[in-house]
Amino acid sequence: MSLIKKIRLGVILPCYNEEAVLQLSAEKLRAKFLDLIAANLITKDSFVCFVDDGSRDSTWEIIENLTKEPIFKGIKLATNFGHQNAILAGMFTCKTMADCIITIDADLQDDIDVFDKMINAYCEGSLIVYGVRDNRDSDTFFKKFTAQSFYKLMQWMKVKSVYNHADFRFIDSRVITELEKFNEVSLFLRGIFPLIGFKSSNVYYARSPRLAGETKYPISKMLNFAWNGITSFSTTPLRFIFYVGIVMFLLSLFFGVWVTISALNGNAIKGWSSTLLVNLIFSGINMICLGIIGEYIGKIYQEVKKRPRYIIDEII
Ligand code: UDP
Ligand code: MG
């Protein structure tokens, strides 16, 4: 390893109603930090920062209690701004306090033992190191299927994203400076980082099941997140509508010829079913297309308002 100087590391964990797992995660991180300090990889003033995303349980009390130790810091958001915004609040707030930042979920499903590999990759010149899952054995069939389909869909829509990478990543603080130029309100971080560029690399790990507590991403939220990811980075659905329009036009040409021939042959009265059927199908397709366009207009509406992405209540 070609490490010239130890890095000051900040680890950021978004926490939403995580009272069941937080203490456990803090202990694991403390032990990991001691190892990294002993191995001369990070400085003694490296820290772990919990971002309380408007939890309604005792998450903030636990964080306050942890901050009695200098390695732990806490940021309390004024209300629930969502996972992505909580990570953003953490990164922006801690930017000047650390050389490098790692973001990881509070349940530590992602493997903290690859921190070493991430630091290693950084020393070899990568400014962004993506944590990538090498298997999904700990997932349910449903989660596996939906996640795989999502990544495939993103690839198909030519959205630059790292396959099987979520929000576990290591970044140099320079990258955060660049990230600050991205002003979008509907945030989908894993789509933004590949756009920033710089030298990047992947480290692979196996994701374990949640240690305690339950998932904060039920199906509805997951689908919403996926849809947001697609519409924030790709206009392919709009292009698709155009293609549908062309197909419908060609069909109607054929239909027109058929109708004319039938009329000329004098059997034009029958055909109630076929008329109704065509009407139903085409108005259905029209509605779907309008809905997709509406989604993009909704997105524009949200973006022009430029509401703040997070509001901080307290920092310790
Ligand atoms: N989270 C958050 N705000 C929210 C929802 C989730 O900060 O509104 C955090 C949560 O505390 C966790 C991370 O986002 O640290 C990922 O959530 P979870 O582990 O429940 O998702 P899963 O791993 O099941 O996809
Ligand atoms: Mg989790």
Provide mean pLDDT across the span 103-108: 95
Does position 2 have pLDDT exceeding 70, yes or no?
A: no
Q: Looking at the structure, tell me whether residues 66 and 204 fall in a common domain.
A: yes
CB 230 within 8 A of CB 36: no
* Contacts for 158 with CB less than 8 Å, ≥ 6 apart: 234, 236
The yes-or-no verdict on residue 1 having pLDDT over 60 is: no
Q: Which of 79, 133, 216 to mutate to test the pocket of ligand 1 (most atoms within 8 A of CB)?
A: 216
CA atoms of 233 and 192, how far apart (whole Å): 9
Identify whether the C-beta of residue 25 lies closer than 8 Å to the C-beta of residue 108. Answer: yes
Give the residue, by CA position, lying nearest to ligand 1 atom 24.
215
- In the reported structure, the alpha carbon of residue 143 is separated from the centroid of ligand 2 by a whole-number distance in angstroms of 12
* Segment 138-161 mean pLDDT: 84
Whether residues 82 and 199 share a domain: the answer is yes
Same domain, 250 and 208: no
pLDDT tens per residue across span 218-236: 888 888 888 888 888 888 8
Specify if 220 maps to a domain: no
| pLDDT value at residue 50 | 97
pLDDT band with cut points at 50, 70 and 90 for residue 86:
very high
Q: What is the DSSP string of 248-272?
A: HHHHHHHHHHHHHHHHHTT--S--H
Residue 248: predicted pLDDT: 85
Is 250 in the same domain as 200? Answer: no
Q: Is residue 176 included in any domain, yes or no?
A: yes
How would you list the strands of the sheet with 100-103, edge to edge? 200-206, 128-135, 165-172, 100-103, 9-15, 47-52, 72-77, 312-315
266 belongs to a structural domain: yes
Report pLDDT for 218. 85
pLDDT of residue 3: 54
d(CA 310, CA 316): 17
Name the amino acid, one letter, at 316.
Answer: I
User: Is the model's pLDDT at 263 over the cut of 80?
Assistant: yes
Q: How far apart are CA 290 and CA 285, in angstroms?
A: 9
The residue segments making up the domain with residue 288 are 236-305
Domain membership of residue 77 (yes or no) is yes
Domain for residue 2, yes or no?
no
Q: Which residues line ligand 1 (CB under 6 A)?
A: 14-16, 18, 53, 80, 82-83, 86, 105-107, 109, 215-217
Average pLDDT over residues 141-151: 85
- What separation in Å is there between the alpha carbon of 275 and the centre of ligand 2? 51
Supply 244's token pair: 């549908």
Q: Which residue has the tokens 């809905």?
A: 291
pLDDT of residue 73: 96
Q: How far is CA 4 from the centre of its chain?
A: 33
Model confidence at 145, in pLDDT bands (50, 70, 90)?
confident
At 70-79, the pLDDT tens digits run 999 999 999 9
Q: Which tens digits make up the pLDDT trace of 37-69? A: 999 999 999 999 999 999 999 999 999 999 999
- Residues of the chain with pLDDT > 90, as a percent, come to 56
Predicted pLDDT of residue 111: 93
Ligand nearest to the CA of 147: 1
pLDDT value for 4: 63
Q: Within a domain: residue 156?
A: yes
Atom 23 of ligand 1: nearest residue by CA position = 215
Same domain for 204 and 254, yes or no, is no
Asked, for residue 298, whether it belongs to a domain, the answer is: yes
- Chain centroid to CA 127: 19
Residues 154 and 232: beta-carbon distance below 8 Å: no
3 state SS of 307: coil
**What are the tens digits of pLDDT across the range 9-37?**
999 999 999 999 999 999 999 999 999 99
Judge whether 99 and 173 are in contact, CB under 8 Å: yes
Q: 112-144 pLDDT, tens per residue?
A: 999 999 999 999 999 999 999 987 777 788 888
Do residues 102 and 26 share a domain? yes
Provide the β-strand partners of residue 42: 7
Q: Which atom of ligand 1 lies closest to the CA of 80?
A: 8
The structural domain count of the chain equals 2
Q: Would 224 be classed as within a structural domain?
A: no
Share of the chain above pLDDT 70, in %: 98
